[in-house]
Amino acid sequence: MALESFKAGSALTMGVELELQLVNPTDFDLTPTASDMLDLLARKPFPGDVKPEITDSMIEISTDIHTRHDEMLAQLRRIRDALVAAGDRLNVGLCGGGTHPFQHWPERRIFAKPRFKELSGLYGYLAKQFTVFGQHVHIGCASADEGLYLLHALNRYLPHFIALSASSPFSQGVDTLFDSARLNSVFAFPLSGRAPFLLDWADFESTYFSKMEKTGVVKSMKDFYWDIRPKPEYGTIELRVCDTPLTVERAAALAAYLQALCRMLLERNEPPPREDDYLVYNYNRFQACRFGLDGFLVHPQSNETLSIREDILLTLRRLTPHALALGSEAALDEIQFVAAGAGNHASLLRHTYAGEGSTQSMVAEAMIQFRKPRAT
């Protein structure tokens, strides 16, 4: 199967996918009820899209294509309300969070669908350990080359998204000391990491993808688990490093932050990306996963060490005109609120653990956060 052609569309549209946890409200462990939820949800028109994920304690929702933050948020809230109502009828709790804090991975069951069974056969325990929950954000691109440009120009901002969304401090019952432990599970896969440094779609197709395809290692773009990957059939690039935040408000804000950032990058006022930018890439990514907003990143071109928190606050200032143009000031306020004071959801969950002393209480808090309608 050759690489699909890049379906170029309107620039700066956005779409969000969220992988969500299904938990039992009695013991707060994950519960294999995806098919029950999907059956019940299928009875009424769903305000978005919902589908199963690799293990049957998770479901994935996605929004339509939006250009405005407020519309995206409104749809995410309708989706959330529909999910919560269905969960209430079935005694199933829903929540965000990049990992379930204490789930025991050998107990997970692979959802009965050929592709998932195949992946499980190939990856063994990695497939079950991959019971992690991420947010994916798609940004529409006017052309394939613009997509590749954005993909690489974003490399220096990637730590922002990891730090802002991080909500997976615990794994298998223990504090990992990471803000995003989820990404460590993703890195275990052989085709994870960064995309090759190619800025021309024809090059990408002929010199990279077709060679990879000939090796037999990959069949389609789906087999790459890159941090940012092009999605030719949608005409988008897809940012995949975010943990699913605890609230849909945070999820919508992250999408709008990326949208504004892309708008700024497309003005091409920044020095263009280079292969050498990736020298510090893994280090920066580690800092964001481990320390969240308190981490430090090395600027790939000036080699300066910057606090991730400070860097986000500075970026927000530069984004103000773009937010104004896109109508996403409220989203940037939310990002400002996270970076300047409130902290990410990993710190909220750690705080809950410190107060309550149990990993169950973290899930209970995550369920409350998810269903709580918020005024902002």
Partner 1 sequence: MQDALMNALTQMAWPAALAIAWVFGEVANRWLSLPRISAYGIAGFAMASSQGGFLGDPSGEPVARLADFAFTLILFEMGYRVNLQWLRHNRWLGATSVIEATGTFAAVFLVAQAFAVPQTPALLLAALAMSTSPAAVLRVANDTHSAGQVTERVLHLTAFNSILAVIAFKAVIGYWVLESAGSVYQAIWHSLVVLIVSGCIGALFGVAVPGLLRLTRNPDHNPTVAFAIAALLLTALTHTLNFSPLLAALTFGMVARHRRIVLTQAQRNFGVLGDLLTVLLFVFVAASLEWRHVTTGIWLALAVIAARLVVKTAATTLLARPSGTGWRKGWLTGLAMMPMSVFVILLLEQTRHLHSGMLDDVAGIAAIVLLLEIIGPIVTQQALRLAGETQRREDR
The footprint of partner 1 (CB under 8 A) covers 24-29, 31-33, 35-36, 39-40, 86, 88-91, 106-107, 109-110, 356-358, 360-361, 364
- Residue 27 Cβ vs partner 1, minimum distance, rounded to whole Å: 6
- How many CB atoms within 10 Å of residue 74? 15
Longest dimension (CA), the chain: 56
Nearer to partner 1, 25 or 196 (CB): 25
Nearer to partner 1, 106 or 114 (CB): 106
* Angle, alpha carbons 366-311-297 (nearest 5°): 90
- Residue 351 Cβ vs partner 1, minimum distance, rounded to whole Å: 15
Nearer to partner 1, 91 or 206 (CB): 91
Cβ proximity of 95 and 22 under 8 Å: no
AA letter at 331: A
- Residue 134 Cβ vs partner 1, minimum distance, rounded to whole Å: 24
Cα separation values, 205 from 56, 199, 209, 353, Å:
35, 11, 5, 48
From 296, 194, 176, 290, select the one nearest 239 (Cα to Cα).
194
- Residue 176 Cβ vs partner 1, minimum distance, rounded to whole Å: 18
- How many CB atoms within 10 Å of residue 9? 14
AA letter at 87: G
- Name residue, tokens 């299904």: 22
- Residue 49 Cβ vs partner 1, minimum distance, rounded to whole Å: 21
Nearer to partner 1, 114 or 216 (CB): 114
Nearer to partner 1, 45 or 106 (CB): 106
